[in-house]
Structure 1
Amino acid sequence: MGPVPTGRRPAAPFTPLDFQLVLLRRMADHRPGPVEDARRALGVSPADMREANKRWQAMVRSPRSRAALSRYRSVLGEPESRTPRRIGDLECEAWRWPVPLWPSLRFEVLVPAAGGAVWNEWLVRAPGAEPPALRTVEDLTPWSCTVDEAARAFAPARPLEGTAPTRWGLAFTAPDANGARREVVAEFTWGLLQRTRVSGPPP
């Protein structure tokens, strides 16, 4: 009897599980602990995660790479929902897929109605799922909320340029548990909160 293979075969189809590993791989830069717990829950090895990310990057960067929307459909299948959306002057459609790692979230891709490149790709709260109660700085725990939820809870929030295409930032003021106003910079990966930097009361 030969050795039992421990890794995923590179030639296998790229699956929704592989895509979840891609999401986790980017989040590992900020939240290695929760990512490690999630990896174990999925029953995959660190090598599996590295291989999934390597294959995804090769797909994205290949000169023969299909358009982003086609790539998501090939990996995730047909979306769970397609909803018309208007953002400013942009008419688009929100395509959403379930993400088993986060049952209360969906992976959303915004597709311009007139065609062209995908406008946005991130995690959002699933329709009907209970949103988090965001009232103070202490409520901003890792993986607790999405970009749009934090922006609404602590408006007005100022968008910050991310350090990578899958990262976003928000700057805002929020009360702490004692009621003092604090300056907060929140960092998100694939639309999900990863960490916050909190400073003293604004002048």
Structure 2
Amino acid sequence: MGAMPSSKPPAGPFTVQDFQLVLLRRMADHNPDLVDDARRRLGVSLADMREANKRWQAMLRSPRSRSAATRYRSVLGTPESVTARRIGDLDCAAWQWPVPLWPDLRFEVLVGPNQAVWNEWLVRAPDAPAAEPRTVDDLRPWSCTVDEAARAFAPARPLEGTAPTRWGLAFTAPDARGVRREVVAEFTWGLLQRTAVGE
């Protein structure tokens, strides 16, 4: 006697919408309210977000998993732009895609030789005005990218992230009264999530 057919419909292709939910799922740990608002704008449920993340993790762990570069092309399509970039002594290419949820940002993947992915995060779109935080009060969740914070408060010291796709920066920044404070900023997928400000 054969196995009972599954009542669950087969999953469709993994889409840009699904990928946005993966980005949001990581951000929900720090900013659940912002993520809920974004999820509602996309018209999806919490269960949809969890399912998208589950499918993404399954793709990453599959023994038949494609390279990360190929996976991003499969999900996001042809990059909007491909730019040659040199980091130290190494040449790579920066692939960028639009992210409908954040029109002023692009999802960037740095691809090295043999299609190895060196980095993957959100950056400011080339034609969008850059965020220029000047004080601690300007460092609101989702207000700036890693690069923008590092430029605004140079010299910033990179910190090891608490999980994959997370980064940290340590720097000093003035508060509203001009008093310089020690700040630790945490980023997920390159976008600011929260800050801890010293006395």
Normalised by the size of structure 1, how large is the TM-score? 0.92
Q: Distance in 1 between matches of 2:78 and 2:9?
A: 24
Q: Distance in 2 between matches of 1:193 and 1:80?
A: 24
Q: Distance in 1 between matches of 2:169 and 2:137?
A: 16
Alignment of 1:62-101 (within 5 A): 62-101=62-101
Alignment of 1:131-146 (within 5 A): 131-146=130-145
Q: Distance in 2 between matches of 1:134 and 1:23?
A: 23
1:117 maps to what in 2?
116
Q: Distance in 2 between matches of 1:165 and 1:68?
A: 14
Give the aligned residue type for 2:62. Answer: S
Q: Distance in 1 between matches of 2:36 and 2:84?
A: 36
Shift of residue 9, structure 1, vs aligned partner: 5.5
1:14 maps to what in 2?
14
Secondary structure of the structure 2 residue equivalent to 1:119? strand
Shift of residue 116, structure 1, vs aligned partner: 4.4
- The alignment yields a C-alpha RMSD, in angstroms, of 1.1
Q: Distance in 2 between matches of 1:140 and 1:12?
A: 39
Alignment of 1:48-197 (within 5 A): 48-112=48-112, 114-197=113-196
Give the aligned residue type for 2:152. Answer: A
2:41 maps to what in 1?
41
Unaligned runs of at least 5 residues, structure 2: 1-7
| The 10-residue stretch of structure 1 (71-80 or 129-138) with the greater mean CA deviation from structure 2 | 129-138
Shift of residue 164, structure 1, vs aligned partner: 1.1
Q: Is the CA contact (8 Å cut-off) linking 1:10 and 1:51 kept in structure 2? A: no
Normalised by the size of structure 2, how large is the TM-score? 0.94
Shift of residue 21, structure 1, vs aligned partner: 0.2
Shift of residue 63, structure 1, vs aligned partner: 1.1
Q: Is the CA contact (8 Å cut-off) linking 1:22 and 1:49 kept in structure 2? A: yes
Secondary structure of the structure 2 residue equivalent to 1:30? coil
Q: Distance in 1 between matches of 2:104 and 2:36?
A: 20
List 4+ stretches of structure 1 deviating above 4 A: none
Identity of matched residues, %:
80
Q: Distance in 2 between matches of 1:10 and 1:174?
A: 51
Q: Distance in 2 between matches of 1:102 and 1:9?
A: 31
Unaligned runs of at least 5 residues, structure 1: 1-7
Q: Distance in 2 between matches of 1:163 and 1:93?
A: 27
Q: Is the CA contact (8 Å cut-off) linking 2:156 and 2:171 kept in structure 1? A: yes
| The 10-residue stretch of structure 1 (124-133 or 181-190) with the greater mean CA deviation from structure 2 | 124-133
Shift of residue 133, structure 1, vs aligned partner: 2.4
